[in-house]
C-alpha cells in the first residue's frame, strides 16, 4: 500500500513543477491528478524523471457512461488517455459514470454503464491498464451523479467481468454515503484498484474529522492491499505540515 498525492487538490494553487517538487520534498514518491488535457505532459515527464516520481492514476476524458450515444466519445477519449498513461508509465486510470438522465430509466442507465465498460475492455487488455470506476457521494459534493453506493459499483464491475475494470473506493465519499468502511473494503478487496482518502466531514487533511485512518490503513495493509491510496483532500492548514501528519498515518 502506497500513498499518492493528488496535486489538483492538495497543491491546487501551485504550478506543476512546484507541486511535484513539494511531493518529493515531503517524502512521497507518487502523485495523481484529474485531467491530463490541461497539463503540460512533457514538463510533467521531465520533472518525474528528475525527481524520481511515479504517476499513480488520473482520469480518462470524453463521453458519459450513462449515455449510450456518447460511448464512442468515451472510447475515443480512453484511447487518447491510454497513450498518455503509457507515456507516463501509469497503469491505472479513473472513470466516472456521469449524471443521471431524467428521461432514461435508472435500470437502462446502469446497463449503459456496463455496456460502456465492456466496450473498453479490449483497449485495456491490449495495454495492460486497469480502469477504475468511482462512486461519488450525492448528498454533499455531487448531487445528480448516478452512482453513489459502492455495492452498486461492485455489481457493475462483476457484470463487466474483466480484471482490467475495478472500483475506485473513495473512503471520504463512502463514509458520507454508507459508512461501514473497513468491512466493505476488506470484503471486496480484490475488486478495488485504487482508493481515495480525505477527512470527513470537510474533505480536508486525513487527521481531521471522524474517520480513524490509522486503523483503516492498518487493516488494508494487513489484508494485503497493494495499490495506491490517493490523498485527495483540500488543505485547511499549511500544506507541508499536513502532508507530514498524513504520512505518519501510513507508518503506525
Q: Where are the beta strands (DSSP E) in the chain?
A: 2-6, 30-32, 54-55, 58-59, 92-95, 130-133, 165-170, 192-197, 228-231
Q: What is the dihedral of CA 181, 183, 184, 189, to 10 degrees?
A: 110
Of 15, 32, 134, 248, which residue is the catalytic one?
134
| Residue 251 vs residues 32, 80, 128, 165, 213: alpha-carbon distances, Å | 21, 37, 31, 30, 11
Residues in the chain: 252
Of 18, 103, 163, 232, which residue is the catalytic one?
232
The sign of the dihedral angle between the CA atoms of 61, 65, 66, 67 is positive
Residue 232 annotated to the active site: yes
User: What is the SS3 string spanning 177-230?
Assistant: HCCCHHHHHHHCHHHEEEEEECCECCCCCCCCECCCHHHHHHHHHHHCCCCEEE
Burial 39-62 (b: 16+ CB within 10 A, else e): beeeebeebbeeeebbbbbbbbbb
Active-site annotation, residues: 134, 232
Amino acid at each position: 500500500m502506497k500513498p499518492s498525492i493528488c496535486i489538483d487538490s492538495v497543491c491546487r494553487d501551485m504550478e506543476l513543477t512546484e507541486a511535484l517538487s513539494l511531493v518529493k520534498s515531503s517524502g512521497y514518491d507518487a502523485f495523481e491528478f484529474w485531467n491530463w488535457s490541461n497539463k503540460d505532459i512533457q514538463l510533467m515527464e521531465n520533472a518525474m524523471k528528475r525527481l524520481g516520481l511515479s504517476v499513480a492514476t488520473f482520469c480518462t476524458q470524453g463521453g458519459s457512461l450513462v449515455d449510450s450515444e456518447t460511448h464512442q466519445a468515451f472510447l475515443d477519449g480512453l484511447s487518447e488517455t491510454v497513450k498518455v498513461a503509457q507515456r507516463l508509465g501509469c497503469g491505472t486510470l479513473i472513470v466516472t459514470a456521469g449524471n443521471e438522465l431524467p428521461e432514461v430509466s435508472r435500470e437502462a442507465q446502469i446497463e449503459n454503464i456496463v455496456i460502456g465498460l465492456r466496450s473498453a475492455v479490449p483497449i485495456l487488455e491490449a495495454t495492460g491498464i486497469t480502469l477504475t470506476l468511482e462512486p461519488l457521494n450525492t448528498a454533499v459534493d455531487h448531487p445528480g451523479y448516478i452512482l453513489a453506493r459502492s455495492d452498486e459499483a461492485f455489481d457493475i464491475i462483476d457484470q463487466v467481468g474483466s480484471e482490467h475494470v475495478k472500483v475506485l473506493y473513495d473512503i471520504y465519499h463512502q463514509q458520507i454515503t454508507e459508512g461501514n468502511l473497513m468491512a466493505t473494503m476488506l470484503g471486496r478487496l480484490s475488486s478495488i484498484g485504487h482508493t481515495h482518502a480525505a477527512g470527513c466531514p470537510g474533505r480536508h487533511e486525513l487527521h481531521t474529522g471522524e474517520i480513524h485512518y490509522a486503523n483503516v490503513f492498518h487493516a488494508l495493509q494487513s489484508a494485503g492491499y497493494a495499490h495506491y491510496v490517493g490523498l485527495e483532500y483540500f488543505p485547511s492548514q499549511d500544506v507541508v505540515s499536513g502532508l507530514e501528519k498524513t504520512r505518519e498515518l501510513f507508518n503506525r
